[in-house]
A = this chain, B = another copy of it.
Amino acid sequence: MAEEKALTSRQDDFSAWYNEVVQRAELADYAPVRGCMVIRPWGYAIWENMQRALDDMFKATGHQNAYFPLLIPLSFIEREKEHIKGFAPEVAVVTHAGGKELEEPLVIRPTSETIIYSMFSKWVQSYRDLPLLINQWANVIRWELRTRLFLRTSEFLWQEGHTAHATEAEAEEETLLILGLYRSFMEDWMAMPPLTGRKTDSERFAGALRTYACEALMQDNRALQAGTSHNLGQNFARQFDLRFQTETGMEEYAWNTSWGVSTRLVGGLVMTHGDDAGLVLPPRLAPIQVVIVPIYRTDDERGRVLQKADEVEALLRQSNIRAKVDARDNLKPGSKYYEWERKGVPARIEIGPRDVDRGQAMVVLRTVTGTDLPRKEALPEHGLAETLRARLDAYQAALLAAARERREAHSYRGIRSYGEFRELMEGAGGFVYAGWCGSAACEDRVKDETRATIRVLPSPEFASAEAPAHCLVCGAKSVSEAVWARAY
C-alpha cells in the first residue's frame, strides 16, 4: 500500500479534518442515498459501547425498553399543532406500499411522541399504571438539507425516552433526572463535559413546555447540542386522550416527558478529543483499549513474540481490558501504529524478542498532551494488567480534565459590550455568558448578525456568581442569564 497522506490539520480546516477523521478512522462512510451514512464497524462498536452504558443507566432508574412502529399516520403527526409545524418540512412520506397507493400517507418517524402516546392511552387507566417509563432504541428520519457525517444526517440512530406521570412535578423531576443522567454519561464515559440548561422558547422542542439540553464545546469552539430532555406538559396527552383516574377518583390528563441522544454523540467524541493524527478515544468507550503489536524479523522470533503477545492478550482480557493482538503479516509495525493511532486506540503494547527475554512490554499511549503520563514506558509483565488499568483510568480522567479546561478557557463571563461579543463570535468563538432581556427580537438580531444563538439559560450549577443585570444586546433589564455560542 502506498504511503498514506497525512490528515488536514485542525488548524488549517477543522471541518475538513473532521470529515477525514470520520472516514479514515473508518467510523462511517457516505451512503448512495442523499444525506444518509453507513456506520462502519469501528464507529458502530463505539455506538454500541455508548448504548450499553446509557441503557444500563436507564434501567437502573426504572426505565424499560420497548419498540414502536417506524411508520406514523400523517394525521397523528398533525394533531399537535406546534409539533407538525416543527417537523413538517423534514418528514419523508410513504405514499405507496404493497404495489398500491395508500389511502392515508404514512410518515417515517422523525420522533415518536404521537405514536407512543396514542399507545399509552390504551395502556394507562389508573394512577397505579403511572409512572410509565419507556425507552426505545430506533432509527429516525429527518430530511436535512445540509448534512454532515454523524452530526446531521437524514437518518440517524438514537434512543428516545417517553414517560407519563401523574403530576406536573413528577414530570419535571423526570426531565431533570434525565438531563443529569445525560450529563453524567457525557462526563464519565465520553470525557465530554457539557454545559446544561434550559432552551429559550425559540429553540424549544416542537410541542414541549420546556426543553433542557446538554451543550458541549467542540475544539473549534462551536457548541454541539448533544442531548435534550423535554417536559411536554399535557400537550400530547390532550391530543391523544391519555387520561387516568387519580387516587381520589378524578379523571386527569397525564404529564409527559421525552428525551433523546443520538449517533451525533460519536461526532461529538471526534471533535472533543481528536488530534491531527486522528481519533482519540476515551478508554471506557474504545472498542479496543490496548492493541498489541508483535515485532520480529526471523521466523523463530515471530513464533516466540506471537506466543507472548497472545499470552499478554489473554492476561489483559482476564482483567476485563479490551485487548487485541494485531498479527497481520502484510503490514510493518510502523503501519500498524499509524493505523491504530488514527483509530484512536488509547494504548499499544510493542513486544519484540528483547521484551520477551526481559519479561517486559513497551507501552505507548495514544496521546499525553496536557497530562503528566509517560508517552512510552517499559512495564514489567508482572502486574501489567493492574498497571495498565491504572494508566487507562488516568488517561480517561486526563481527557475529561483537558476537555473541561478547554471549555472553561473558552467560556466568557462578564462581557458587557455587544461589540466585544461580536468580535468574539467572529473570532475565537466559545460560550459567552451574558444577560438577556427575554425577547425573541434580541435572539434574532444576534443570530442574524453573528450566527450565534442562545444555547441555554444555564442550570444553577453553571450560573455566574453574580447574575448579569442588563441584556447584552439591547441593554434592557436582564430576566435571565443566557449562554450564547455558534453551534453545529
**Which residue on B lies nearest to A99, using beta carbons?**
B89
Q: Are B99 and A68 in contact (CB under 8 A)?
A: no
What 0/1 pattern do residues 136 to 154 of A give for CB contact below 8 A with B? 0011010111000000001
Kindly supply a per-residue 1/0 record for chain A positions 85-118, scoring 1 wherever the CB is within 8 Å of any chain B CB and 0 otherwise: 0001111111111110000011010000001001
Q: Is the CB of B115 within 8 A of A71?
A: no
Known A39-B67, A89-B99, A92-B94; 19 more pairs at CB < 8 Å: A29-B119, A31-B69, A33-B71, A33-B72, A33-B73, A33-B106, A36-B70, A38-B69, A39-B66, A41-B64, A70-B139, A70-B155, A71-B155, A88-B99, A93-B97, A95-B95, A96-B105, A98-B144, A139-B139
Assess whether A202 is interfacial by the CB under 8 Å rule.
Answer: no
Write the residues of chain A forming the contact surface with B, with a CB cutoff of 8 angstroms. 29, 31-33, 36-41, 44-45, 47-48, 64-73, 76, 88-99, 105-106, 108, 115, 118-119, 122-123, 128, 134, 138-139, 141, 143-145, 154-155, 157, 330
Give the shortest distance, in Å, between A420 (CB) and chain B (any CB). 39
Task: State in angstroms the CA–CA spacing of A93 and B108 once bound together.
Answer: 11
Which residue on B lies nearest to A89, using beta carbons?
A: B99
A72: chain B residues within 8 A (beta carbon): 33
The 18 listed contacts between A and B (C-beta, < 8 Å) are: A29-B119, A29-B122, A29-B123, A31-B119, A38-B66, A38-B67, A41-B65, A44-B64, A45-B65, A70-B70, A70-B155, A92-B94, A92-B97, A93-B94, A93-B96, A97-B143, A98-B145, A108-B108
A29, A94, A154, most chain B CB atoms within 10 A? A94
* A155 to B94 CA separation, bound complex (whole angstroms): 14
CB of A154 to closest CB in B, whole Å: 8
Q: Smallest Cβ distance from A448 to chain B, in angstroms? A: 24
User: Per a CB cutoff under 8 Å, which of B31, B64, B69, B330 touches A36?
Assistant: B69
Residue ID in chain B nearest A105 by CB atoms? B96
- Give Cα distance in the complex from A106 to B31, angstroms: 13
Contact between B38 and A119, CB atoms less than 8 A apart: yes
Give the CA-CA distance A81 to B115 in the complex, in Å.
37
CA distance A155 to B69 in the complex (A): 7
Query: What are the residues of chain B within 8 A of A123 when measuring CB–CB?
Result: 29
> Given A33-B73, A119-B29, A119-B31, are A67 and B157 also a contact pair (CB < 8 Å)?
yes
Task: Verify A115–B44 contact, CB threshold 8 A.
Answer: no
Counting every copy of the chain, the complex holds 2
Known: A40-B66, A48-B65. A32 touches B92 (CB 8 A): no
Residues of chain B within 8 A of A71, CB atoms compared: 33, 36, 92, 141, 155
* Chain B residues positioned under 8 Å from A76 (CB to CB): 32
| Pairwise interchain contact B155-A33, C-beta atoms closer than 8 A | no
Bound CA span A39–B68, Å: 7
For A33, list chain B residues within 8 Å (CB): 69, 71-73, 106, 115
A91 touching B97 in the complex, CB below 8 Å, given contacts A65-B44, A69-B155: yes
**How many Å lie between the Cα of A96 and that of B106 in the bound state?**
11
CA gap between A352 and B189 in the complex, in Å: 44
A32-B118, A38-B66, A39-B66 given; A128·B330 CB < 8 A = yes
Among B48, B94, B118, contact of A108 (Cβ-Cβ < 8 Å)? B94
Asked if residues B93 and A66 are in contact (CB atoms below 8 Å), the reply is no
User: A65 vs B155: C-alpha distance in the bound complex, in angstroms?
Assistant: 18
A118 partner residues in chain B, CB cutoff 8 A: 32
A119 proximity list for chain B (CB < 8 A) = 29, 31, 38
A40: chain B residues at CB < 8 Å are 66
Using Cβ atoms and an 8 Å threshold, which residues of chain B touch A68? 31, 38
Known: A29-B119, A32-B73, A95-B96. A64 touches B45 (CB 8 A): yes
A69 and B28 CA atoms in complex are apart in Å by 12
Q: State A138–B38 Cα separation when bound (angstroms).
A: 13
Which of A36, A69, A73, A141 has the most C-beta atoms of chain B within 10 angstroms of its own C-beta?
A69
**Closest B residue to A143 using CB positions:** B98
- Distance of A335 from chain B, by nearest CB (Å): 13
Ranked 10 nearest A-B pairs via Cβ: A98-B143, A41-B64, A92-B97, A39-B67, A36-B69, A93-B96, A97-B143, A31-B69, A95-B95, A44-B66
Q: Is the CB of A115 within 8 A of B32?
A: yes
Write out the residue numbers on chain B whose beta carbons fall within 8 Å of the beta carbon of A48.
Answer: 65
Q: Which residue of B lies closest to A133 (CB)?
A: B41
Q: Which chain B residues border A69 with CB–CB below 8 Å?
A: 31, 33, 36-38, 155
- Complex: A157 Cα to B67 Cα, angstroms: 9
- List B contacts of A97 (CB < 8 A): 91-93, 141, 143, 154
Please, which residues of chain B bring their CB within 8 A of the CB of A44? 64-67
